[in-house]
Amino acid sequence: MALMNIFEGLASLFFVLLFAPLFAGLVNKQKAMMTGRVGAPVWQPYYDLFKLFRKETIRAKSASFISGLSPAINFAAVIIAASMLPVCNAHPLISFKGDIILFAYILGTARFFQILAAMDIGSSFEGMGASREASFAIFVEPIFFFTLGSIAFITGFTSISDIYRSIAMDRMSYTVFIVVCSISFFILAVTECSRMPVDDPNTHLELTMIHEVMILDNSGQDLFFYQYSGNIKLLIYIVLETAFYYPLGAGLTAVGVTIFALNILFVSFVLAGVETVTSRFKLKDMPHYLLFAAAIGILNLLIFTFNK
Amino acid sequence: MFSLRDMFFISMLIQAASILAPVFIGGQRRASALAHITLVAGLITGFISSFLAVFFPMAHTVGTGFFGLPPEYFRFDPLALYFLCVVQAVAIPTAVFSYSYLEHYIGEGRSVKSLYVFFAGMLIATQMVVTINHAIVFLVFWEATSMSAYLGMIFEKEKKEVQKGSFYYFVMNHVVIFLLYIFFFILHRQTGSWLLSDFRVVTGNSGLTALLFLLALAAFGMKAGFMPFHFWLPRAHPIAPSTISAFLSGIIIKLGIYGLFRAFQILSPAPLWIGWLVLVVSMITAIFGVWYALAQHDIKKLLAYHSVENIGIIGIGMGIGFIGSAYANIPMQILGFGGALLHVLNHAVFKSLLFLGSGVINNNLGTRNIELMGGIVHKAGFFVFLFLTGSVAICGIPPLNGFVSEFIIFNSFFTAARELKEYYPLMMLVSAVGLAFVGGLAVACFTKINAIMFLGTQRGETKPFHVSAYDYISLGVLALLCVVIGFCPVPFINAVNNVVSGIVPQGGAELLNINWLYITVIFTLFSAVALAMYFISKAMRKKFGFRESDAWCCGYNRLGPRMQYTASSFADQINDIARAPLGYHKKGRAGEGIFPPSSGFESHSADLVDNRIIVPGYKKFISLMSAIRLPGNTDIRYYVAYILIMIIVYSVVGFLWH
Amino acid sequence: MAIIFSLTGLILASGAACWFVKDLKAQYFISLFAAGAHLLFSFALFTGICAPQLAFLSLDPLSRLFLIVVSNVYFWVVLVSYQYLKQSTAKGSGKKYYFIFLNVYLLANSAAILSNNFAMYWVVSEMTTLSVAPLIYYLRDEESLEAMWKYLFLVSVGIAAVFIGIIFLALSATGTVVEGKQLFFTDFIRHAALLNPVWLKASFIFIFVGMSTKIGIAPMHSADVDATSTSPGPIAALMSGSLRVTALVGLMRILQIVRGTSVYEFARFIMIIGGLLSIFTAFVFIFRVRNYKRLFAYSSVEHLGLIVLGVATGGLAFIGAMYHIVYNSINKVVIFFCAGSINQKYGTVDSEKVSSLLENMPWTGWIFMFSFLAISAVPPFGIFFSELKVFEGMLFSNRPWVLFAVLFFMLFIFINMGRVVLQMLYKKDENSKVVKERERVNITHAVSLILLVMLIALALFTPNVLKSTIIDIAKDFGAAS
Amino acid sequence: MENVLSILFCLSLLYLALTSRVKHCVNVLQAQGIILAVINTLPLFHHFTLGEIILPAALLGIKGVLIPFYIRKIITDLDIKDPIEPTIQQFTFIMLVITLMSAVFVASGILAKSTEINIIPFASGFSAIITGILVIIFRKKLLVHVMGFLAMENGIFLFGSAIAFKLPVIIELGMLLDIFVVVFLMGIALNKISTTLSGFEAAQLRRLKD
């Protein structure tokens, strides 16, 4: 049994590692199609990553060891986070009581080093990005706890996979609760993964970038790790988002896997759709947007708690 | 076979002997060396015994008294031993650091003997405070700790800010001692004994228990720096010499926590509302502590506010424990108190690391304003690495020790929600969100200071940066402790569990039941992956080429130090959210027109309690008091008239007296 | 018997010798010898080594304790006097009469403390005022003249009020066995229950108010503050450390009589009013005092107020107050020595003109600092322990609110005193007039250090004889538990 | 006889309150001193002892002769002007004194019921005390303060003689001596004050303040 669990976990991890760039490509492709372009092939992220891996690394003169350390730590953190994912309701590699906290915090570690690495250059562009990242990040963990954490507090389960397993859409109020949670979580995912309307991944103006500007001076393997971690992170959040709907039938059976895949596709579609129809918010308004997400979570929770 | 007590007393004697060195030896350097060697030897002696006692608990012999103090005046229960161990663990690196720190002053030609004497006195008195069992003697050593810290603090007394800051500390101590008087008097009256271990409150007297709890909270809370009593920390810490401020922040404010634990032992179970009070106050303390920190530019002031934050986190754990005790819920108490206790150790370790680091920076650059720093990483990479370790730890992010204690506190939230049901899940969720928010702000804050101080290039004039071997040793030991507790928490958890079972006698295995092996494995895995990736990319760089160039700046290629992002700008967006409570205000001038004049931006934060309540309140009070005039305070006729008046007044009183 | 007469003779002779011998140093040694002899005598008396029996002398624990307190203060003051006079630049005949009046002072004080008779107490008590007045006028300047006038006048009026009180006391004895006899304390105490309460009450009021001028209980404290703040350091120490103690004896005596009667509660009440008023006055005035000697004079008002409060509260507070008398007098001596030295060096009593003491006068500065800490009740100095007892006693008395008021006032007294003192110690030197020469250790520093050590030692290793004496006093006042 | 003298004493007090000339005050004091001496001599008519004549003699010597003489000397030496310089209207002052005096007499009458006291000397003495204090409070000249103080002391002596209470002669003498020394010192101080501060008014002693 334990061996089986480990196997499932490893498989999930590999799934995430393997398909992360594909998912990013998928979203981009859909986005392009929605805006009436042909767009790059869905495999494009793989090509990019492969190319980056083989490129010469150029670093700023003012960079220090942080610049070298940060991509590796980022990547490691993302991998640890990925191994806690209940992909398709499978048993994750890492699952223990309280791993929800570890999940939130290990991404914090990644963020910590990424911000540092951005500031490492001493350029004001990176500083801008880092500052924005830091200020949005303070809302990320609270929202995370308002969504996924609220379920944990209600059900008493503290492991991500257990939390998702406990979700059952048998009662109306609970279903509504879960749906609103998932919406809130979607906003979180958008923020965390620097997608529209928080951040425009395709912008070309340094002054308006957030995530992109932080890695402005990275190239070669450093950039490879950043990009790859970014892709993985996106998939992680998407999997967590879809996991709210596992009760619809996702599981380690043929049907279950199909449902899971459809789920993922659907979310990618929504993501692309949102990115197409919205424009980026003003940076000043961003905290309000995030607070809005938090407020949804709180309201939802209040309604749920007192509606018994 | 000698007992723990003997070891302790021997160590105290050795440490006390170290004070003799500066008194009897003329040369500053020789005196300093000898004194520090003796001090460290004494501390290590003590540490070995307390370490063994904490980590390998066994029955202790009752042992002997000390210096005329009878044996029952000392108390070596797990709580005392734990705090003793924490104190000594931090004191050793601080003492090592103190040596090179004093060297620096000796180099400047200052007399440092007094500083050493007060430093050593502070260490000794602190160790006594946590082991003393007699209320009056406790007060004596409590005050001795405070006073020696105060006297050390005024080392650079000619500076105005030193005078002000130390005075805050001075007054705060006086208030605390007044409150403690009353606290102990009442307990003494209740039991007729002065021994802390004998103190009891008659069960059922809830009014008295509440009163005592409030007194303890006010007194110990003020020492610890809970809001709104935190105002003295950001005033007092920046101005003290780094050895003092490291110890002050790492240990002395924990004496407040120690006192709260003792108070709880005496008064338990806590009333429910006390638990909630502690929890809410701690939450506010934690959030605003870190937020205020974010708005600071003075490195030591910033760290002082972080101490406030961490005291808040410790308080959150205690609050959960108190609530647990009100419900007689064992798991909550164990997790809450356990988290708080472990965080006491953790905070002591990383906060002293950071304060000592700030001392090194201050000595080298001669400023505490982080806006003037930058680029230190290119001069002292390893030093930055050590400081960074402390920063990661204090943010509570994996894989270092800060995470472990916060993890326990999060677990206590979950436990509370699970065990108590009702509206608790909601409340605990809010608490968890608050704690997460604190974590996010801490990340922002520490990325800010690390980035601004160390990375990029030096702002202002360039100075050589020298870190002595002693600095490396002391910082290294502390950083290592951060890593060890983070990666291998089990022995520490065992120790804490042992202490907690002293506070919660019913006992329980909640702390041990957390799967700590997972943490160890995951952290190892995490570091392994990170290292592997680091080396892979290194190898790839060799393979595919590597070069350095100027940073990208939209084609502009004369990026100067002044163009770097500043701390004010970095934190502006976050501070802007809470402008009112932070007293956050900025002055900015944007250049406009074709030939813009020079533009600038600065931001300041004014502590709400300090600047809105204490300073104006005190001023108002003074003017009010100055307005009171006894007529004719200078005229002899009035003097005589007072005699007549008082005779008449007293006669009237006497006439009306029944 | 013989020992007392010979001691009196010795002091008189010493005073007379000072009159005839013109050399200051010789006067100093003669007076020092007398002071030493007196200290030995009081010590012997205190420890019970010698116990003379004289009808008109009271040798109960109270007298013995107060005598050693006064004698102790006096001895150290004489010891440092020569050094002070040598450095003093006072003009006029101040130095000439200094030691003569000191000797008279000693005699008068000892007589006042040991007297067993109200009338005699009154006479010698007035004599202490008379002997100290010229000493206040030592500096021969306008301020000291004014202070001397005020002190002399006010205390004389006050002591006249005491006399009225004494007459009332005599009246209260009408129709009892005590009537017509000499005004012996012991008689009155023994037959206290027989006394007429109305007259006794009046008597207490008059004695309390009259004595307040000398003890420094508000609002009759002004002259005391004026005098203490303008007199030279050693004399200020003497006034703060011993003269007030002597005056306290009178109050204690009448309280001892009143204790056994129905007036006791009333007496306690007005003493509490007086004590609180004193602390309150110190609290109010300390907000604007810039003259540091005045500051400590107010501190004396505060502490004497606390002592009166402790005595009035009774029980543990009474015992605390007794300890407080001992510690406070020692502490005040050190403080006023320092203030005197500072005054000599800087030539000003304005605290804002004194700066960087720790640099300019490291010895005095540090001693000053520690004496300030001591008076602020920082352990291990004695005041801490005595205040602790007083506070505890107050908290569990029937008037716990007194404690809260006292703590509130004392906190702000501490804050304001701290502001001034620390500012003097630390503030960067802007006063270039001060001669920047390394301060050398002199006898004042040595004495101050000895006294500080004494202050700690007495607290940490309280001699049994002190303990038992205080317990005995408490028993006499019905305050022993 | 004692009562008659006491009433005389009271009248002298009224005059003290009424007069606006310093020299008259001295005269009043002298008269009071003599009255006191006479009152203290009265018991000797019944029962004469040599030892007890010392006290009246000393009273007469010190209060009746020495002190007035000394004060007069001060007045001439320092050239003190004659007006006493009151701070309130004389009329008000007199009313105040008379009111308080009546109050004292009434109070003494009440008190005498419970205790055996000689009302008139007692009340006169007490009146003197109050008048003395009032004189101090409401006069500017320092010398007049001294005289007020002396009136107080005189009152106390009268007061003391009103009760059946005998103190040892030595103590009574000590008191007299004390009073003399006080006055003597005050005289010296006044002398100094006139040279250093060039004035004799209480308002000039205002240097000591917070």
Residue of B nearest to C387 (CA): B181
The pLDDT value recorded for residue C218 is 81
Above 50 in pLDDT, residue B1?
no
User: Residue D115 and residue C146: Cβ atoms within 8 Å?
Assistant: no
User: Is B637 in Cβ contact with D202 (below 8 Å)?
Assistant: yes
Instruction: Give the integer Cα–Cα distance in Å for B601 and B586.
Output: 7
Sign of CA dihedral C193, C196, C198, C200: negative
In whole angstroms, give the CA distance from residue A293 to residue A286. 11
Could D207 and C142 be called an inter-chain contact, meaning their C-beta atoms sit closer than 8 Å?
A: yes
Query: Does C429 lie at the interface with D, CB-CB under 8 angstroms?
Result: no
| B261 Cα to chain D: minimum distance (Å) | 47
Dump pLDDT digits (tens) for D13-45: 888 888 888 888 899 999 999 998 888 888 778
Range scoring the smallest mean pLDDT among A167-171, B148-152, D66-70? A167-171
Q: What is the mean pLDDT of residues B26-38?
A: 86
User: Residue D78: in which H helix or E strand, if any?
Assistant: helix D67-78
Taking the Cβ of residue C428 and every Cβ of chain B, the question of whether any pair is shorter than 8 Å is answered with: yes
Q: Which residue has the higher pLDDT, C170 or A285?
A: C170
Cβ atoms of residues B90 and B62 within 8 Å: no
Mean pLDDT of chain B: 87
Least CB-CB distance to D186: which of C127, C152, C175? C152
Local structure of residue C115 (DSSP, 8 states): B
* Cα-trace Rg, chain C: 21
Mean pLDDT computed over B505-533: 87
Question: Distance between CA atoms of D95 and D199, rounded to whole angstroms?
Answer: 30
| C156 reaches D (C-beta below 8 A) | yes
Q: Which residues neighbour C20 within 8 Å (Cβ) at sequence distance 6 or greater? A: none
Neighbours of chain B (3+ CB pairs under 8 A): A, C, D
Residue of D nearest to C171 (CA): D163
Domain count, chain B: 2
Residue in B136, B166, B170 closest to C388 by CB: B136
Cβ of residue C123 closer than 8 Å to a chain D Cβ: yes
Q: How close is the nearest chain C Cα to the Cα of B351, in Å?
A: 29
Q: Which two tokens stand for residue B352?
A: 């002293």
| Mean pLDDT within B632-652 | 86
Nearest to B650 among C209, C388, C407 (CB): C209
Distance CA B239, CA B242 (A): 8
pLDDT at B632: 62
DSSP, collapsed to helix, strand or coil, labels residue C57 as strand
Residue D7: predicted pLDDT:
87
Kindly give, in sequence order, each residue whose CB lies less than 8 Å from that of residue C331, ignoring residues fewer than 6 positions away: C371, C374, C375, C381, C382, C383, C451, C455
Note whether C174 contacts D210, CB cutoff 8 Å. no
Between positions 382 and 411 of C, the ones with CB within 8 A of B are 384-385, 388, 391-392, 395-396, 403, 407, 411
pLDDT-based confidence at residue D187 (cuts at 50, 70, 90)? confident
Contact between C284 and B170 using a beta-carbon 8 Å cutoff: no
A102-136 residue pLDDT tens: 998 999 999 999 999 888 887 888 888 888 888 88
ipTM value: 0.87
pLDDT in tens, B123-173: 999 999 999 999 989 999 999 999 999 999 888 888 888 888 888 899 899
Using CB atoms, list chains with 3+ pairs below 8 Å to chain A. B
Interface mutation vs chain D, best among C129, C152, C153, C299, most D CBs within 10 Å:
C153
The mean pLDDT value of chain A amounts to 85
User: What are the boundaries of each domain within chain A?
Assistant: 2-305
Q: Is B190 inside a domain boundary?
A: no
Q: Model pTM?
A: 0.90
Distance CA(C293)–CA(C231), nearest Å, equals: 9
pLDDT given for residue C481 in this prediction: 56
Judging by DSSP bridges, how do beta strands A57-60 and B546-549 pair with one another? Answer: parallel
pLDDT tens for each residue of C313-362: 988 999 999 999 999 999 999 999 999 999 888 888 888 888 888 888 88
Q: Does B633 touch chain D (CB under 8 A)?
A: yes
- CB-nearest partner of D185 from C143, C152, C179: C152
Give the residue-averaged pLDDT of B376-381. Answer: 86
What count of CB pairs under 8 Å joins B to D? 31
Sequence-distant (6+) residues with CB within 8 A of D14 are D94, D97, D98
Q: Find all residues with CB under 8 Å of B583, minimum gap 6, and list them.
A: B605, B606, B607, B608, B611, B612
Task: Answer whether B380 touches A (CB < 8 Å).
Answer: no
List chains touching C (3+ CB pairs under 8 A).
Answer: B, D
Range with top average pLDDT, B29-38, C274-283, D51-60: C274-283
User: What is the rounded distance in angstroms from the CA atom of residue B53 to the CA atom of residue B82?
Assistant: 9
Which residues does B130 contact at the CB level (< 8 Å), separation at least 6?
A: B80, B83, B84, B87, B255, B258
Percent of chain A as helix, strand, coil, to the nearest 5: 75, 0, 25
Asked if B640 has any chain D CB less than 8 Å from its own CB, the reply is yes
**pLDDT of B420 strictly over 60:** yes
pLDDT tens for B328-372 read 888 899 999 999 999 999 999 999 999 999 999 888 888 888 888
Output phi, psi for C117, to 5 deg.
Answer: -140, 130
- For D82-86, the CB contacts below 8 A with 24+ separation are D82/D21, D82/D22, D82/D23, D83/D20, D83/D21, D83/D22, D84/D19, D84/D20, D84/D21, D84/D22, D84/D25, D84/D139, D84/D140, D84/D141, D84/D144, D85/D139, D85/D140, D85/D141, D85/D144, D85/D201, D86/D20, D86/D138, D86/D139, D86/D140
Please name the residues between 110 and 169 in chain D that touch chain C, using a CB distance below 8 Å.
Answer: 111, 114-117, 129, 133, 136, 142, 145-146, 149, 152-153, 156, 159-160, 163-168
Nearest alpha-carbon partner for C242 in C374, C333, C321, C320: C333
Q: What percent of chain B has pLDDT over 70?
A: 97
The verdict on a CB contact (< 8 Å) between B644 and D133 is yes
Question: Mean pLDDT throughout B458-463?
Answer: 76
Q: Please check whether residues B520 and B648 belong to one and the same domain.
A: no
pLDDT above 90 as % of chain C: 51
Average per-residue pLDDT in chain D?
A: 84
Q: Is the pLDDT of residue B473 over 70?
A: yes
Q: How confident is the model at residue B63 (pLDDT cuts 50, 70, 90)?
A: low
End-to-end CA distance of chain A, in Å? 38
Q: What is the pLDDT of residues C445-480, one digit of tens each?
A: 999 999 999 999 999 889 999 999 999 999 988 876
Instruction: Check if C262 contacts D (Cβ < 8 Å).
Output: no
For residues D9 and D153, is the Cβ–Cβ distance under 8 A?
Answer: no
Test C130 with D185 for CB contact under 8 angstroms.
yes
Q: Is C369 exposed, middle or buried (0-12, 13-18, 19+ CB in 10 A)?
A: buried
Residue of C137, C170, C294 lying closest to D163 (CB–CB) = C170
- Chain C positions touching B637 (Cβ under 8 A) are none
**Closest C-alpha among B278, B284, B287 to residue B325:** B278
Distance CA C131, CA C111 (A): 13
Residues of chain A with pLDDT > 70: what percent? 99
Residues across chain C: 481
pLDDT in tens, C66-103: 999 999 999 999 999 999 888 887 777 778 889 999 99
CA C396/CA C387 separation, integer angstroms: 14
Residues C189, C260 contacting (CB under 8 angstroms): yes
> Is residue B221 helix, strand or coil?
helix
Phi, psi of B588 (to 5 degrees): -135, 145
Segment B230-278, tens digit of pLDDT:
888 888 888 889 899 999 998 999 999 999 999 998 888 888 999 999 9
- Taking CA–CA distances from D129, the nearest residue in chain B reads B644
Cβ within 8 Å, pair D209-B633: yes
Across the strands, what pairs with D83?
D21
More confident residue, C257 or B591: C257
**Phi, psi (degrees; rounded to nearest 5) at D201:** -105, 150
- Average of pLDDT values for C274-284? 92
Cβ atoms within 10 Å, residue B74: 22
Interhelix angle A172-192/A124-144, nearest 10 degrees: 170
> Maximum distance among all alpha carbons in chain C?
72
Do D189 and C179 count as a contact with CB atoms less than 8 A apart?
A: no
Using CA coordinates, name the residue in chain C closest to B190.
Answer: C396
SS3 content of chain D, % helix, strand, coil (to 5): 80, 5, 20
| pLDDT surpassing 90 at residue A137 | no
Distance from CA of D27 to the nearest CA of C (A): 21
pLDDT (tens digit per residue) in D114-173: 777 788 888 888 889 889 999 888 888 888 889 999 999 898 888 877 775 667 778 888
Using alpha carbons only, how large is chain D's radius of gyration in Å? 18
Whether residue B639 and residue C391 make contact (CB cut-off 8 A), yes or no, is no
CB-CB under 8 Å, B634 with D206? yes
Closest B-chain CA to A220: B541
DSSP structure class, residue C400 = H
B near A: at least 3 beta-carbon pairs less than 8 Å apart? yes
* Every domain of chain D and the residues it spans: 2-204
CA dist B479 → B397, B472, B497, C430 (Å) = 15, 10, 24, 45
Selected residues 532-571 of chain B with any CB under 8 Å from a CB in chain A: 532-534, 536-538, 540-541, 544-554, 559, 561, 563-565, 569-571
- How many Cα atoms occupy the beta-carbon half-sphere of A268 within 13 Å? 27
In this structure, are residues A59 and A84 in contact, taking their beta carbons and an 8 Å threshold? Answer: no
Select the highest-mean-pLDDT range: B547-556, C285-294, C450-459. C450-459
